[in-house]
Structure 1
Amino acid sequence: MSDTTKGAVPFLVSCTSGTTVQGAFDPLDRIADVCEKHKLWMHVDAAWGGSVLFSKCHRHLMKGVERANSVAWNPHKMLTAGLQCSVLLLQDTTNLLKKCHCANASYLFQQDKFYDVNLDIGDKSVQCSRKVDCLKMWLMWKAVGSSGFEERVDKAFANVRYLTEKMKKTEGFKILKEPEFVNLCFWYLPPSLRGKELADDYDDRLATVAPIIKERMMKQGSMMVGYQPLGNKVNFFRVTVFSPLVSKKDMDFFLDEIERLGKDL
Structure 2
Amino acid sequence: MRPASVLSLQGLVPFYVNATAGTTVYGAFDPLNAIADICQQHTLWMHVDAAWGGGLLMSDRHKMKLQGIERACSVTWNPHKMMGVPLQCSAILIKKRGLLQECNDFGAEYLFQTDKNYDVSYDTGDKSIQCGRHVDVFKFWLMWKAKGSEGFGSQVNKCLENAEYLYDELQRRTDFELVLKNKPEHSNVCFWYIPPSLRGLTPGPDRDARLHQVAPRIKGRMMAKGSVMIGYQPLGDKVNFFRCVFSNPATQREDIDFLLDEIPELGNDL
Confirm or deny a common fold (TM above 0.5): yes
Q: For residues 63 and 119 of structure 1, do their structure 2 counterparts lie closer, same or farther at Cα, with a shift above 3 Å needed?
A: farther
Quick one: which amino acid aligns to residue 169 of structure 2? K
Of the three residues 250, 263, 268, the one matched with 1:258 is: 263
- Scaled by the length of structure 1, what TM-score is found? 0.92
Q: 1:40 corresponds to which residue?
A: 44
Q: Is 1:248 aligned with 2:253?
A: yes
> SS of the counterpart of 1:214?
helix
Quick one: which amino acid aligns to residue 222 of structure 1? S
Q: 1:158 corresponds to which residue?
A: 161
Quick one: which amino acid aligns to residue 251 of structure 1? I
Q: For residues 199 and 110 of structure 1, do their structure 2 counterparts lie closer, same or farther at Cα, with a shift above 3 Å needed?
A: closer
Q: Conserved in 1, the CA contact under 8 Å of 2:94 and 2:100?
A: no
Q: 2:190 corresponds to which residue?
A: 185
Quick one: which amino acid aligns to residue 191 of structure 1? P
Q: Deviations over 1:144-192 (max 9, x none)?
A: 1100000011111111111111111122110011322110010000011
Unpaired runs of 5+ residues, structure 1, are 1-9
Q: 2:24 corresponds to which residue?
A: 20
Alignment coverage as a number of residue pairs:
255
Q: Tell me the CA shift for residue 139 of structure 1.
A: 1.0
Q: For residues 115 and 22 of structure 1, do their structure 2 counterparts lie closer, same or farther at Cα, with a shift above 3 Å needed?
A: farther
Tell me the distance in 1 between the aligned counterparts of 2:118 and 2:163: 48
Alignment of structure 1 residues 48-127 onto 2, 5 Å: 48-93=52-97, 95-113=98-116, 117-127=120-130
Q: 2:213 corresponds to which residue?
A: 208
Q: Is 1:231 aligned with 2:252?
A: no
Q: 1:143 corresponds to which residue?
A: 146
Tell me the distance in 2 between the aligned counterparts of 1:24 and 1:200: 28
> SS of the counterpart of 1:181?
coil
> SS of the counterpart of 2:213?
helix
Unpaired runs of 5+ residues, structure 2, are 1-13
Q: Tell me the CA shift for residue 209 of structure 1.
A: 0.3
Tell me the distance in 1 between the aligned counterparts of 2:170 and 2:253: 13
Q: For residues 40 and 142 of structure 1, do their structure 2 counterparts lie closer, same or farther at Cα, with a shift above 3 Å needed?
A: same
- Scaled by the length of structure 2, what TM-score is found? 0.90
Q: Deviations over 1:208-239 (max 9, x none)?
A: 10010000000011112111111111110101
Tell me the distance in 2 between the aligned counterparts of 1:233 and 1:168: 19
Deviates most, 130-139 or 234-243:
130-139
Tell me the distance in 1 between the aligned counterparts of 2:52 and 2:252: 21
Q: For residues 18 and 92 of structure 1, do their structure 2 counterparts lie closer, same or farther at Cα, with a shift above 3 Å needed?
A: same
CA RMSD of aligned residues (A): 1.6
